[in-house]
């Protein structure tokens, strides 16, 4: 009798909206980061939908959505805690407090969007058949609002980042399925998130109405689509002429104890980059792609285009004396040929100090330390430049910088604007210690951006793996998973449109 009462109490407690909201958030995180669990993303929002249905008021619905949103925003950005200490002269406790404060501000800024979703979804779920469209549409609006909130909370004078922070978009786990990933070619990450939220709502309604047969058929269909060879079918229907481009890629890893602010200017890092450039040049590539901030090309030396051409990223002061991150084209002997374009989106606290950190520095007596940190890292975004012409051909390539890979449809935008046939992406995780979750997120960003753009992507990086992806988002080649510096020359089939 006592055990029955206990079970009843536990069941009642488990059905509380707050518990269901937290459970929904936990399921999302499992789908994101537990190996082979991505399929759970289709059911992750079901507990949240049940909680919203049972919420007593708009305020209760807001709190329910807020809790789920906080878990999702905080969990999918937990790699903040892998940050390299931004104030190396201060204690570990002070640095942890600074990182934890940034993380907490981000969670508090992003979670209210999910709270608003809770209020609106609670109402929309009573709209009959229209709810099957309204609820997932509201979820997409929620994710868009989160990007705007992130841009607002990471403001700084002179930095005008567009909304780009798509971390935690619920559609990203679908990038682990080659079939579902192809949705990105139609509507990008927004369509992927819409499908996830919509399928979860469809399953929820079937469970609520006890439609067991329809539920079984739907789940079986999801399984078939998830594991069918979608890209093989797409390739079989295509008949595109390609150009075989030989590209040298690299991944540079510096031991954690030596990865202090400014480590990319130290001789160990620059010598390692130069060593791999020399090794790659011996294998006759047409292009050698460096990580973001390779610091290989000397900007004061000028030369003519030669093969292989080297693509690097370096800090460069504009005519007003403001530093910008700029893609540069050069030679294997280190001379610069020309600048390509400037980076349009910057990483808060990695490439500029946000306004709230300045405020905290004043309040807690660390203004001088924050100013020193700012002088070391502060750069500005800029919108100038374009793509480049590949050697020995008339094909064009676009450059994409590290944080730009988070921006929905950014790859598609630059490819269309520049008429490009391939994207060269230069990544850097140098501001972070080895974070497995950040690597998982980054690869999904890259997969979705390549499918959105419809072109292959080549990636070099530091402190993370380097990849070659085709236009279907498949990883054709990878180095650096073992966290050692590596390089390789890879032949990439570039479609000729």
Place of tokens 């399984």: 223
Are the CB atoms for 287 and 249 separated by under 8 Å? no
* pLDDT at residue 189 in the model: 97
Same domain, yes or no: 87 and 207: yes
Last-in-domain residue among 218, 233, 248: 233
Q: Give the Cα separation of 406 and 164 in Å (integer).
A: 6
List Cα–Cα distances, 253 to 267, 411, 462, 463, 470, in angstroms.
13, 26, 6, 5, 25
Structural domain containing residue 304: 240-346+381-495
Residue 77 lies in a domain: yes
Length of the chain: 497
pLDDT along the chain (497 residues), means of 10: 50 69 96 94 96 89 95 92 76 83 90 96 90 96 96 87 93 95 95 97 91 86 80 58 92 78 75 92 94 83 80 83 87 89 88 82 80 82 88 89 94 94 92 86 96 96 94 94 92 89
Q: Give the Cα separation of 167 and 407 in Å (integer).
A: 9
Same domain, yes or no: 198 and 319: no
Last-in-domain residue among 233, 248, 275: 233
Nearest to 400 by CA among 330, 448, 332, 338: 448
Same domain, yes or no: 180 and 304: no
Same domain, yes or no: 128 and 215: yes
Q: Give the Cα separation of 245 and 239 in Å (integer).
A: 18
* pLDDT at residue 375 in the model: 80
Angle, helices 184-208 vs 212-227, to 10°: value is 150
Same domain, yes or no: 56 and 203: yes
Q: Give the Cα separation of 222 and 184 in Å (integer).
A: 17
User: DSSP characters for 216-274?
Assistant: HHHHHHHHHHHHS-HHHHHHHH----EEEEEEEEEEE---GGG--TTGGGSHHHHHHHH
Same domain, yes or no: 109 and 197: yes
Nearest to 391 by CA among 329, 326, 469: 329
Same domain, yes or no: 125 and 212: yes
User: What is the per-residue burial (b if ≥16 Cβ within 10 Å, else e) of 222-256?
Assistant: beeebeeebbeeeeeeeeeeebebbbbbbbbbbee
User: DSSP characters for 135-174?
Assistant: HHHHHHHHHHHHHHHHHHHT-BTTB-PPS---TT-TTGGG
Q: Give the Cα separation of 327 and 259 in Å (integer).
A: 23
Residue 126 lies in a domain: yes
Residue 1 lies in a domain: no
Are the CB atoms for 92 and 23 separated by under 8 Å? no
- CA angle 310/312/313 to nearest 5° reads 165
Same domain, yes or no: 228 and 244: no
User: What CATH number has the domain bearing residue 260?
Assistant: 3.60.110.10
* pLDDT at residue 13 in the model: 44
Are the CB atoms for 389 and 398 separated by under 8 Å? no
Are the CB atoms for 328 and 311 separated by under 8 Å? yes
Are the CB atoms for 448 and 175 separated by under 8 Å? yes
Q: Give the Cα separation of 176 and 172 in Å (integer).
A: 8
> What is the DSSP-derived secondary structure letter of residue 84?
P
Q: Give the Cα separation of 25 and 47 in Å (integer).
A: 9
- CA angle 41/229/42 to nearest 5° reads 10
Q: Which H helix or E strand runs over 289?
A: strand 287-289
Residue 370 lies in a domain: no
Are the CB atoms for 374 and 353 separated by under 8 Å? yes
Q: How many domains does the chain have?
A: 2
Same domain, yes or no: 283 and 214: no
Residue 353 lies in a domain: no
Same domain, yes or no: 23 and 166: yes
Last-in-domain residue among 233, 262, 295: 233
Q: How many C-beta atoms surround the C-beta of residue 393 within 10 A?
A: 13
Q: Which H helix or E strand runs over 108?
A: helix 92-124
Same domain, yes or no: 189 and 317: no
Residue 444 lies in a domain: yes
Q: What is the largest CA-CA distance in the chain?
A: 87
Residue 92 lies in a domain: yes
Are the CB atoms for 170 and 189 separated by under 8 Å? no
Residue 416 lies in a domain: yes
Same domain, yes or no: 265 and 168: no
The residues, any chain, with a CB within 8 Å of residue 147's CB and separated by 6 or more, are: 163, 164, 165, 166
> What is the DSSP-derived secondary structure letter of residue 305?
-
Q: Which H helix or E strand runs over 340?
A: strand 335-342
């Amino acid at each position: 009798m006592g055990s029955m009462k206990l079970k009843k109490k536990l069941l009642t407690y488990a059905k509380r909206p707050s518990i269901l909201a937290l459970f929904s958030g936990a399921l999302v995180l499992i789908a994101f980061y537990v190996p082979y669990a991505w399929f759970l993303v289709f059911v992750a929002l079901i507990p949240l939908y049940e909680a919203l249905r049972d919420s007593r008021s708009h305020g209760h619905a807001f709190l329910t959505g807020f809790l789920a949103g906080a878990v999702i925003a905080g969990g999918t950005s937990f790699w903040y805690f892998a940050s390299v200490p931004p104030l190396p002269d201060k204690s570990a406790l002070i640095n942890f407090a600074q990182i934890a404060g940034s993380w907490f501000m981000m969670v508090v800024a992003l979670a209210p969007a999910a709270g608003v979703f809770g209020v609106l979804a609670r109402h929309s779920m009573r709209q009959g058949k229209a709810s099957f469209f309204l609820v997932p549409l509201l979820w997409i609006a929620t994710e868009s609002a989160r990007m705007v909130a992130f841009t607002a909370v990471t403001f700084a004078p002179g930095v005008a980042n567009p909304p780009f922070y798509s971390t935690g978009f619920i559609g990203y786990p679908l990038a682990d399925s080659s079939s579902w990933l192809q949705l990105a070619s139609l509507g990008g990450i927004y369509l992927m998130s819409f499908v996830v939220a919509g399928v979860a709502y469809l399953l929820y309604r079937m469970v609520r109405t006890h439609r067991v047969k329809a539920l079984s058929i739907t789940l079986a269909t999801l399984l078939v689509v998830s594991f069918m060879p979608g890209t093989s079918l797409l390739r079989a229907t295509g008949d595109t002429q390609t150009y075989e481009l030989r590209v040298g890629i690299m991944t540079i890893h510096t031991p954690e104890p030596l990865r202090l602010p400014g480590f990319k200017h130290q001789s160990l890092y620059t010598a390692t980059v130069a060593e791999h450039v020399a090794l790659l040049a011996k294998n006759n590539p047409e292009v050698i792609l460096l990580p973001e901030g390779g610091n290989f090309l000397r900007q004061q030396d000028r030369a003519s285009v030669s093969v292989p051409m080297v693509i690097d990223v370096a800090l460069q002061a504009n005519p007003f004396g403001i530093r910008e991150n700029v893609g540069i084209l050069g030679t294997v002997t280190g001379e610069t040929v020309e600048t390509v374009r400037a980076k349009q989106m910057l990483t808060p606290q990695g490439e500029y100090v946000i306004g709230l950190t300045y405020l905290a520095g004043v309040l807690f007596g660390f203004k001088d330390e924050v100013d020193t940190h700012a002088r070391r890292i502060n750069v500005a975004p800029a919108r100038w430049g374009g793509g480049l012409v590949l050697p020995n051909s008339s094909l064009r390539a676009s450059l994409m910088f590290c944080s730009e890979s988070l921006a929905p449809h950014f790859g598609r935008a630059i490819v269309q604007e520049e008429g490009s046939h391939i994207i060269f992406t230069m990544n850097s995780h140098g501001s972070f210690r080895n974070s497995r979750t950040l690597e998982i997120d980054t690869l999904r960003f890259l997969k979705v951006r390549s499918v959105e753009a419809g072109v292959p992507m080549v990636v070099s990086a530091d402190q993370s793996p380097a990849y070659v992806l085709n236009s279907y988002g498949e990883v054709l080649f990878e180095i650096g998973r073992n966290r050692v510096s590596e390089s390789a020359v890879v032949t990439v089939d570039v479609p000729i449109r």
